[in-house]
Chains A and B, each alone.
Chain A
Amino acid sequence: MRNREILSLVLILIVAAVSLFIDFAPGNSFLGRDVAIRLGLDLQGGTQVLLKSEISADRETMQTAKGVIERRVNGLGVSEAVVQLSGADRIIVELPGVKDPAQAVETLRGTGRLEFIDTQGQFLQAGTVVRTTGNPNPLALTTQPTPQATAVLDPNTAPVPTAVPQPVPTIDPNMPIYANITDGKDLDTRSVQPRFGSSQTLSNQFAVAFAFTGQSASRLETFTSQNIQKPMCIVLDNVVFSCPVVQAALVGGSGEITTSTRADAERIYNQLKYGALPLSFQVESSRTVSATLGQNSVDASVRAGIIGITIVALFMLLYYRMPGLLATLALLLYTAISFAIYKLIPVTLTLPGIAGFILSIGIAVDANVLIFARLRDELRHGKSLRLAVEQGFDEAWPAIRDSSASTLITSTILFLFGNSFGVSLIIGFALTLGLGVLLSLFTAVVVTRTLLRLTIPLSIAQNPWMYDMKEAPGLQR
């Protein structure tokens, strides 16, 4: 009998030691595994977008699009980013810790179609949305006509006031369609080279080198040799980027796009380098949280957690005395194991996730409360301590089992339901709550029970005061 308890105690101590080691693992690595705590977007800041294809696409095209977006994400240098398909025509992108979310998303979903257009000697303002033979109906012109864009394109059309509730989704047929000289699909992605950072030739000048192949290359060469000293507009995804004056013929269809800022150069480089997207994507939904807000939330939750655990521990000590002390030890162990598991699996901690953990402390304590209430009942009826401990556990078990099962059922349903994008934060809650229930079974049934059994031979455990009772006839005084 005693051997079994000592064995359990050794087991508990090993679990505790391993958990504590993982919790405070130096360099956040355990057996070669990275066990850094993962924080969700709401805690570390970042952005999550749901991109929806403008037209319905087959699985293969979506996979290709996903691949292109993945390469662009890698080009952004964001760690722990997630790109996944969702349903038939949507892609979820998560960019934790990204500094300028708006720009990052712009880079990811730009189709990356590079065109040079023939404007018949006209200069177009940078930022103008134009119709090209490559894409005569850009979505930016159909759904959200921006006043500047329409005004520049067609002086006869009055700027559409933004207060108009529903912009008519048609394109003015009078708007010119510019013939393109090059086609995006002829761009040689291997030729796309940065001319910024370490590979910069001149300071204060940022550029991206490119080269076209096939028909586009010969057309570009012909056009530039015939139109020296005339403007030629560079259009990226139907947005005019710049209209430089042709200085010399682009022999072999290669050249450079110069930009005034490094950010622009990086965006263009990323889009050209990692290939054009086969589809255009709309931002269906998005969530962006700043890093400071995330940090505030972490601080607040940690403070709330510590205060919550402290008050619960004090209450258990005052109300149940010695069993309360053992339960507090079990509770601390519970916290240590929980965090070790979060780091091992890993569980991405979100704000609702932390709330779920703090709530699960309540469940862990409840199991102990149930057991101790039964223990006192048995002592009151004059049972010996050994018998009271065993029967207390046996009698409390059905209630603990059934109530844990009902919480497990709901957390499973929450988990399944949380897979829908709009409510994806819930997964964290369901996961920490569900894990909490399973763990609390372990701590209450194994840890508290072993600790209680071990105290039975101690003379101090035979004192009714230890259980906040006046009389317990079965105790051996």
Chain B
Amino acid sequence: MKNIVKLRYWWFALSLLVIVPGAISLGLYGLRLGIDFSGGALWDVQFVERQQSELNTDAISRIFNDTGFPDARVQISQSGTGATALPGALVRTKRLSGSEPEAQQRAVLDALQKQYGQVRLASLQSVGETVSAESNRSAIIAVIGACVAILIYLTIAFRRAPHPLRYGVCAIIAMLHDVALVIGGASILGVVTGLEIDALFLTALLTIISFSVHDTIVVFDRIRENMIGRRSGESFDDIVNHSIVQTLPRSINTQLTTLFTLVALLLFGGSSVFHFVTILLIGLLSGTYSSIFNAAQLLVVWEHREWERWFGRKGGEGEPATA
């Protein structure tokens, strides 16, 4: 039988290998906050009478500057597909004024029309400070609330297994692994493709949290079941390993079916959900990995209290480390 448990420190190393670059990027560049969380306005303008090659970010930025929006960040985009495709520009500016946003909007569109002929405002979002501050607060509450609620539920669900709290804690650690990986990934994607942290990103993150725990529960459920029917001489390591092998086909199949739907969304779901689906894909892959190769392995680490040995090595003095 394949021994997955024995290689546990290799699995942890692999996780670190994937998480560390994201963490470095996070430290260096941080996250690019979208208007939902930092406030500001996002204009999606389409140019009916122009080709993409005729558009120039500097010229568009200058038009915004002249109409009262200095420091506009312009990104040339393409919206729609096939015959209805139009070149467009995504422009990030400060928020619209509270007292006369309509006049500002008209001024910008008029100036753009003068330069580029007919333009259409595909969407315009403006978020004020109080709203973005509220979103930040509720985002933090939502993530922490979800973690606590799941920890409580798992402890109750696994109350008959020995050490029920361990299952909850290990599931949460595996989930934090996924959160760390996704946030690090978002930081890298922010630098590379300009991905921004918006309300949709947060939705994706919370979905990943729930799917990660979902996956972990399926593995833990097997462990719980196998613990009850434990044969004499069967070690905890064997049970965990056996449980992982038993649930592996299910883990792979579920991952595949979710992957199919997500890839369909990625390819055909349009640009509005592209980043959302990308983040979900990364997170769900990570979620399946962490439930098999982190959560279950951590149970084994906890069972043997292996961290006592880590500190023995680290100290380098006193009693020699026994491996």
Contact yes or no, A312 B257, CB < 8 A: yes
With known contacts A162-B67, A301-B270, A423-B36, A414–B98 Cβ distance under 8 A? no
The 7 closest A-B pairs by CB, nearest first: A282-B98, A300-B270, A410-B210, A422-B135, A308-B264, A362-B258, A308-B261
Q: How far, in angstroms, from A256 to B150 measured CA to CA in the complex?
A: 66
A304 engages B267 (CB within 8 Å): yes
Q: Is the CB of A296 within 8 A of B199?
A: no
Subset of 16 A-B contacts with CB under 8 Å: A106-B102, A283-B96, A283-B98, A292-B84, A299-B270, A358-B261, A373-B247, A403-B213, A405-B157, A406-B150, A413-B145, A417-B142, A422-B36, A423-B135, A423-B138, A425-B200
Residue A258 lies at the interface, judged by CB distance under 8 Å to chain B: no
Q: Do B207 and A359 touch across chains, with their CB atoms under 8 A apart?
A: yes
Contacts of A35 on B, CB cut-off 8 Å? none
B70 partner, pick from A163, A308, A370, A426, beta carbons under 8 A: A163
The stretch of A140-148, A151-159, A212-220 that contacts the partner chain: A140-148
Instruction: Decide if B207 touches A433 in the complex (CB within 8 Å).
Output: yes
A402 contacts across to B, CB distance below 8 A: 153-154, 157, 217, 221
CB distance from A111 to the nearest CB of B (A): 12
Interface-side segment among B20-28, B117-125, B184-192, B306-314: B117-125
Question: A130 to nearest B CB, angstroms?
Answer: 15
- Tell me if B225 counts as interface (CB < 8 A to partner A): yes
Q: In chain A, residues 337-380, which have Cβ atoms closer than 8 Å to a Cβ of chain B?
A: 351-352, 355, 358-359, 361-363, 365-366, 369-370, 373, 377
**Does A205 interact with chain B (Cβ within 8 Å)?**
no
A140 to B102, CA, bound (A): 12
Q: Does B59 contact A (CB under 8 A)?
A: no
Interface residues of chain A: helix, strand, loop or mixed (majority): helix
Verify if B254 is at the interface (C-beta below 8 Å from A). Answer: yes
Size of A's binding interface in residues, CB under 8 A: 79
Closest to A363 in B: B214
Least CB separation from B149: chain A residue: A409
Interface status of A293 (Cβ within 8 A of chain B): yes
In the complex, the answer to whether B250 meets A370 with C-beta atoms within 8 Å is yes
Given A144-B97, A307-B264, A399-B218, A365 and B206 contact (CB-CB distance below 8 Å): no
Question: Is A421 touching B217 in the complex (CB atoms < 8 A)?
Answer: no
A403-B217 Cα distance, complex, nearest whole Å: 6
B130 close to A284 (CB less than 8 A): yes
Q: Which of A386-416 contact B (CB under 8 A)?
A: 395, 398-399, 402-403, 405-407, 409-411, 413-414, 416
Contact partner of A355 (CB less than 8 A), chosen from B36, B98, B277, is B277
Q: Which residues of B contact A102 (CB under 8 A)?
A: 101-102, 105-106
CB nearest neighbor in B for A399: B221
With an 8 A cutoff between CB atoms, is A315 at the interface?
yes
List chain A residues, Cβ under 8 A from B269: 300-301, 304, 355
Within 8 A of A (CB), among B120-172: 120-128, 130-132, 134-135, 138-139, 141-142, 145-146, 149-150, 153-154, 157
Check B123 against A369 for contact (C-beta < 8 Å).
no
Q: How far is the CB of B38 from chain A (nearest CB, A)?
A: 11
Q: Is the CB of B126 within 8 A of A285?
A: yes
Q: For the complex, what is the distance from the CA of A373 to the CA of B131, rounded to whole Å? A: 47
A358–B207 Cα distance when bound, in Å, is 13
A residues less than 8 Å from B250 (CB atoms)? 369-370, 373
In the bound assembly, the distance between CA atoms of A146 and B150 in angstroms comes to 53
Most B CB within 10 A of own CB, among A303, A370, A410 = A410
Query: Which residues does chain A contribute within 8 Å of B203, judged by CB atoms?
Result: 352, 414, 426, 429
CA distance A23 to B261 in the complex (A): 22
In the assembled complex, A319 has its CB within 8 A of some CB on chain B: yes
B268 contacts which chain A residues (CB < 8 A)? 300, 303-304, 307
B142, A361: Cβ atoms closer than 8 Å: no
Write the nearest CB–CB distance from B147 to chain A, whole angstroms.
Answer: 10
Q: Is A190 an interface residue (CB 8 A)?
A: no
Counting CB contacts under 8 A, is A165 at the interface? yes
A158-178 interface code vs B (CB 8 A; 1 in, 0 out)? 000011010000000000000
For residue B211, which residues in chain A have a CB less than 8 angstroms away from its CB?
A: 407
* A436 shortest CB reach to chain B, Å: 12
Which residue in B70, B130, B154, B247 is a CB contact (below 8 Å) of A52? B130
Q: Specify which of A282, A362, A363 lies most central, judged by the most chain B CB atoms within 10 Å of its CB.
A: A362
Q: How far is the CA of A126 from the CA of B97 in the complex (A)?
A: 21
Nearest-neighbor residue (CB-CB) of A311 within chain B: B260
Q: Does A290 contact B (CB under 8 A)?
A: yes
Q: Is B56 an interface residue (CB 8 A)?
A: no
B44 cross-chain contacts in A, Cβ below 8 A = 293
Tell me, yes or no, whether B202 is within 8 Å of chain A by CB: yes
State in angstroms the CA–CA spacing of A283 and B265 once bound together: 34
Q: Decide: A103 and B102 in contact? CB cutoff 8 A.
A: yes
Tell me which residues across on chain A come within 8 A of B132, comparing CB atoms. 422
Complex Cα spacing A358 to B263, Å: 11
Contacts known (A286-B126, A287-B123, A422-B132); A139 close to B256, Cβ less than 8 A: no
Pick from B79, B253, B261: contact of A369, CB under 8 Å: B253
Is residue B58 within 8 Å, beta carbon to beta carbon, of the partner chain? Answer: no
In the complex, A309 Cα to B260 Cα: how many Å? 9
Contacts of A407 in B (CB 8 A): 210-211, 214
The listed residue (B95, B96, B202) touching A423 by CB distance below 8 A is B202
Q: How far is the CA of A289 from the CA of B270 in the complex (A)?
A: 15
- Residue B194, interface by CB 8 Å: no
> How far apart sit A162 and B80, CA to CA, in the bound complex (Å)?
34
Q: Is A461 an interface residue (CB 8 A)?
A: no
State whether the Cβ of A29 lies closer than 8 Å to any Cβ in chain B.
no
A162 engages B66 (CB within 8 Å): yes
Contact present for B138 and A420 (CB under 8 Å) = yes
Taking CB atoms, residues of chain B closer than 8 Å to A309 are 261
Interface residue A119 (Cβ < 8 Å from any Cβ of B): no
In the assembly, what is the distance between CA of A354 and CA of B142, in Å?
Answer: 21
Bound CA span A414–B142, Å: 7
Contact between chains at B127 and A163 (CB < 8 Å): no
Q: How far is the CA of A395 from the CA of B95 in the complex (A)?
A: 55
Q: Closest Cβ of chain A: how far from B18's Cβ, in Å? A: 23
Q: Is the CB of B99 within 8 A of A144?
A: yes
Of A285, A287, A395, chain B has the most CB atoms within 10 Å of the CB of: A285
Q: Which residues of B contact A52 (CB under 8 A)?
A: 98, 128, 130
Give A217 Cβ to nearest chain B Cβ, in Å.
Answer: 31
Whole-angstrom distance between the alpha carbons of A359 and B264 in the complex? 11
* B260: chain A residues within 8 A (beta carbon): 308, 311-312, 315
How far does the alpha carbon of A314 sit from the alpha carbon of B246 in the complex, in Å? 24
Judged by a CB distance under 8 angstroms, whether A259 is at the interface is no
A105 touches B123 (CB 8 A): no
